[in-house]
Every structure is written in structure tokens, then in C-alpha cells.
């Protein structure tokens, strides 16, 4: 791989773990490094690619397969893709990896954050609703989150500040000669 090739950074973690915050900061750093960058964020992409999808395992998988394909297309055309999705199931993340790796480097970044911390953060009030039974199939409450077994990078947003998280990802990219 060389610096002209694209790649996919797949951020996974519980809702409110800090994926979007990291994605936005990474986008800025990658642009400073001269990369063409596309940020695919869960809520926005779902609205356009899978407006019919609910949050069952099957709907989530179908949606993420679409995202993986779009990510692969962008990456094989030299774009650095930052995909920020809860993507709670290991099996589905494995399928996403296989799709992307047909044409590009796939980098799984686990944005770790304990459940009690994300419940406390709860910026959209979704955990409160899920815990009250108002939202079904909510990851971390009544739907599982399967932690990655071998992600390329782990950052812990409950212990690291955003600069340190970005540094870890950028270091990985530099060491891999991707930037």
C-alpha cells in the first residue's frame, strides 16, 4: 500500500462512546495530511442509504453491507473513508471487513467506553428512553454489543482525550505507510 491509496477506518463502539467525535477529529487531521476524506456517520448515512431499516439484527446487517460496499468504492478510488457505526455484531463486522478488503485496507478501531459512562453521557437521551422501555433493540440495553476480538486499534474514550485518540490512529496510519 502507498499513500495514494484509500483505506477504511471503521469506528465501532457503544452509542455515545465517542465515535463521531473521533471521526470528525480524524477527518480534520487526514485532510491536513493531504488525504481526500469522506466521513460516513451512522445517523446521516442511515437516512440516505437505508431509510426503511429498523434496528433488528437483519436490518442492521443489510444496512452495514451497503455501507461497506460504498466504503470500498470510495477507498479503491483513493479516498480515506472514516465509517462511524455502532456495528454491534462481530459476524457483521467480519463481513464488512471482507467486502472492503477486496479493494482496500480495513482498519477496525474499537472506541471503548464502559456502559455506565455512555449511559451517563447520553447526549441524545436514548439510553434513558431505552432503559424506560420506550426504545427496543437498543445496543447495550436490550441488544448486545460484541466487543471486537482483534481490532487494529483500541482507544478508550473514558480515559483518553481526543488528541490522544487521534494520535493513536494517525500513528498506525503512518507506521503502515498509509499517510
* Distance from the first to the final alpha carbon of the chain: 10
Which band of pLDDT confidence, cut at 50, 70 and 90, is reported for residue 45?
confident
102-150 pLDDT, tens digit per residue, is 999 999 999 999 999 999 998 888 888 888 888 888 888 888 899 999 9
Residue 87 appears among annotated catalytic residues? yes
Mean pLDDT of 60-73: 93
Report the topology of domain 7-173. Rossmann fold (3.40.50)
What's the rounded Cα separation, in Å, for the pair 57 and 175?
A: 36
Q: Is the pLDDT of residue 77 over 90?
A: yes
* Percent of the chain at pLDDT exceeding 90: 72
* Percent of the chain at pLDDT exceeding 70: 97
| Cell numbers for 57 | 439484527
- Contact status, residue 80 vs residue 36, Cβ threshold 8 Å: yes
Question: Looking at residue 134, what DSSP letter applies?
Answer: S
Report pLDDT for 2.
46
Mean pLDDT of 149-165: 97
90-104 pLDDT, tens digit per residue, is 999 999 999 999 999
**β strands within 32-78, DSSP E:** 36-41
What's the rounded Cα separation, in Å, for the pair 108 and 68?
A: 12
Q: What are the sequence ranges of the domains in the chain?
A: 7-173
Set 50, 71, 84, 87: catalytic member: 87
Neighbours of 89 (CB within 10 A): 19
Which band of pLDDT confidence, cut at 50, 70 and 90, is reported for residue 88?
very high
- Contact status, residue 39 vs residue 24, Cβ threshold 8 Å: yes
pTM, to two decimals:
0.92
Q: Is the pLDDT of residue 61 over 70?
A: yes
Amino acid at each position: 500500500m502507498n499513500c495514494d491509496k484509500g483505506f477504511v477506518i471503521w469506528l465501532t463502539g457503544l452509542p455515545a462512546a465517542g465515535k463521531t467525535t473521533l471521526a470528525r477529529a480524524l477527518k480534520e487531521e487526514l485532510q491536513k495530511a493531504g488525504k481526500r476524506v469522506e466521513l460516513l456517520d451512522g445517523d446521516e448515512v442511515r437516512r440516505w442509504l437505508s431509510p426503511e431499516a429498523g434496528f433488528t439484527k437483519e436490518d442492521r446487517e443489510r444496512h452495514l453491507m451497503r455501507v461497506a460496499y460504498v466504503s470500498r468504492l470510495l477507498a479503491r478510488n483513493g479516498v480515506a473513508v472514516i465509517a462511524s457505526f455502532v456495528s454491534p455484531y462481530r459476524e457483521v463486522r467480519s463481513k464488512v471487513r471482507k467486502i472492503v478488503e477486496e479493494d482496500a485496507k480495513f482498519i477496525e478501531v474499537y472506541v471503548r467506553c464502559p456502559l455506565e459512562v455512555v449511559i451517563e453521557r447520553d447526549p441524545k437521551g436514548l439510553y434513558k428512553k431505552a432503559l424506560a422501555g420506550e426504545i427496543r433493540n437498543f445496543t447495550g440495553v436490550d441488544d448486545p454489543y460484541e466487543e471486537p476480538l482483534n481490532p487494529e486499534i483500541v482507544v478508550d474514550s473514558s480515559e483518553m482525550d481526543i488528541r490522544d485518540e487521534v494520535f493513536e490512529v494517525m500513528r498506525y496510519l503512518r507506521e503502515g505507510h498509509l499517510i
